[in-house]
A and B are shown apart, each in its own frame.
Chain A
C-alpha cells in the first residue's frame, strides 16, 4: 500500500499587489506518495512555483495562505507561525533546488564552505569529519577532483557544476523530500541530461521523494512516475506518466502535449492554444479553462467541474468526463505520435 508522505488539501493562496487581491492558488489538492517522483507541469504563471514555495513557507510577504492544509508526518505546515517552526522542516526534512543555481549560492564563499555550513547546522560533527563529508558529497554529485574543487568560488564553476553543488547542499541535510523548481531549464541539453541522471540516481540511492517542476515534456517523460497538470492555480489532471502521455483526457493537457515540435513532421502547422490565462484578480465562474477550451460545454461556464476518477491513479477535472457529455477525441497529432507508436525523432 503506497503511503502518502505529503498531503496538500484545498490549498488557497492570495497575493496582495497594489491593493488588488490576486487569487494565485485556487484550492490545490495533491498527494505525494513516498518514494515517487511527481512532476508538475503547466504554463508560466499557473502557480507551480508558488505551490512549492508555500510548502516550505518561503512565500513573499504579500502572500497569504487563505485556506487549506499541508500535512507532513502529522504536522500541518500551514499552521506554523514562526520561522523557527519552519526551520525544523526546511533542509532537514524537505529541501529545495531552484532554477538558477547562481541565485541560490553565495558568490563570496567557496562551495566547500557552503556545503559545510549546511552540514554544521544539521549534524553535530567534528571539523575534520565535516571536511570528509564535504568531499564525500562532492564525489556523490559527480564533481571531479573534490579535494581541489571544494575551494572554488561559484563563479569559477560552470552552470552544471553549480547545480551539482546546490544538489550537494540539499543532500547534506539528508532530506526526505526534494523539491526541484525547474532545476535544468538554465542548462544546456547535454548538461541537463547529466543533472537529470544524477537526480534519478540519487533518488534511488537515498529513497528520496522528488517533486519536480518543468514545462519540458522530454524531462517529464524521463523523471516522472506521476504527473500533475496545473492550470490557473488548480490541478486539472493527475495520473501516472503513462496515463498522461498515452491517455490524456483534459483538453488543456492535449494542448500542452500538442505544442511540442518534436511530434510534427517538418512543415506541418503546429497546433497551439490561443488566449491567455484568466486574470487572477477576477473570480472565476465555472471552469477556468472554458474560455480557451474549443470543446467547452455550456455547463463549463456555470459550474466548476469536480474531479472525475477514471482509475485509481488517473483523475481529471473536466465536465467532458461526465456520462452525458459528448465524446471528444484528442488532436490527431497526439494520437499518431503516442498511440500508433509512430515515434519520430
Chain B
C-alpha cells in the first residue's frame, strides 16, 4: 500500500513560563508513516502528546525538528497559498468536544458550508446548498435541520455536524482527535459505525487519537503507543493486544477493567488487586520505563527495534565506541 503521510523524527515543543521556562518538548523524536486507506491509532494517557502530534500534522502548531511529508511534500514549513489550499481540501480534523467545537451563533448550514465558501468561491450558491444537503444526508442528519443552531442538537448529532464539516471538503485524510470520548455510551457506537462506513465508502485514511483501549482494538488497523512524548511501540492492532513487548504497553493493557464480573472478582480473591500497594508507586507518571531519562546517561541511546514483522518497540541500546 502506498504511503500517505510520513513523520520522520518529529519533535514538538511548547514555550514555558516561570519554573518551566524555555522549550519543553511534548513530543520527542516521533517517526511513523500512515498508509493510504488505513486507520492508524495514537494511544496514550493524557499529557503523552497524542493531540500535539495530531495538531502538528494539521499545521496548527509548529514543529521543532524533523519532517512531516504528505504525499511526498514536506508540509511542516511555509507553503505557497496554492499548496495550503490543497492541504485544506485533503486533510481535515474532527474534534473531541462537539459542544465546544461548533460556533453556537451560526446556523448548521453555515458551519458545514464554511469550508467550501472559504476555499472555492467559484461555486454557486445553489451548488453549495446542494453539497451541504448531500453531506448532511451522508452523515445521517436531515437537511431540513440546516437552518437550526448547534444548541438545538444532541451531542451525537453535533458530532455528526463536526464530521459533515470535515467531509464536505472531500478530504482523503482525517485526523480524529478523541471523537467519541465526550459522547454518551449509546451514541458512541453510532458515531463509530458512521466513521467506519464513511471510511469504506470514501476510501478515507484516519489518524484516530484516543485513550480508550477497547475502542482502539475495535476500530484501528495499526497503533502507536505514546508515553511521555515518545512512541514506545508500533504494531498492527491485533498483534499489539495479543503480544505487547514494551513494559509500558503491558501495564496499560493490564489496567483496562474488563466487562466480565466473575473474572475480576476472582482476581480480587487471589489478592492480585493489592499489588499496587506493595509497589508503592503513586501513579504511572513516576515510572521511567526506560523512556524519560535514559538518554542522559550518555552511553545509551533509544532505538525502535523490529521485534516481529511490522512490530516496532522502543529499546535502550548501548552506543558503540567511536
Contacts and interface: CB of A to CB of B under 8 A. Distances in A.
Interface of A: 43-44, 142-144, 158-161, 188-194, 196-197, 200-201, 215-222, 224, 241-242, 245-246, 255-257, 259-264, 266, 269-274, 276, 338, 343, 345
Contact of B283 (A158, A220, A246, A262): A158
Contacts of A197: 273-274, 276
Query: Chain B interface residue count: which class?
Result: 35 or more
A189 B211 contact: yes
B185 A242 contact: no
Interface string B99-137: 000000000000000000000000000000000000000
B297 interface: no
A28 B154 CA distance: 26
Given A201-B274, A269-B193, A272-B193, A221 B218 contact: no
Best-buried of B46, B185, B187, B252 by chain A (most CB within 10 Å):
B185
A317 to B, nearest CB: 19
6 contacts: A43-B184, A188-B284, A190-B283, A215-B184, A219-B257, A256-B185
B270 interface: no
Interface in B264-293: 264-265, 268, 273-274, 276-277, 280, 282-285
A259 B186 contact: yes
At the interface, is chain A mostly helix, strand, loop or mixed? helix
A273 B188 CA distance: 10
Contact of A259 (B189, B265, B283): B189
A338 B263 CA distance: 12
Contact of A189 (B237, B256, B264, B274): B256
A312 B68 CA distance: 62
B259 A266 contact: no
Contact of B192 (A257, A261, A263, A273): A261
Most buried by B among A160, A194, A222, A343: A222
A189 B262 CA distance: 20
A277 B281 CA distance: 43
Q: Across chains A and B, which 10 residue pairs bring their CB atoms closest together, nearest first?
A: A218-B257, A272-B189, A262-B214, A261-B218, A270-B189, A217-B259, A193-B255, A241-B261, A188-B45, A190-B284
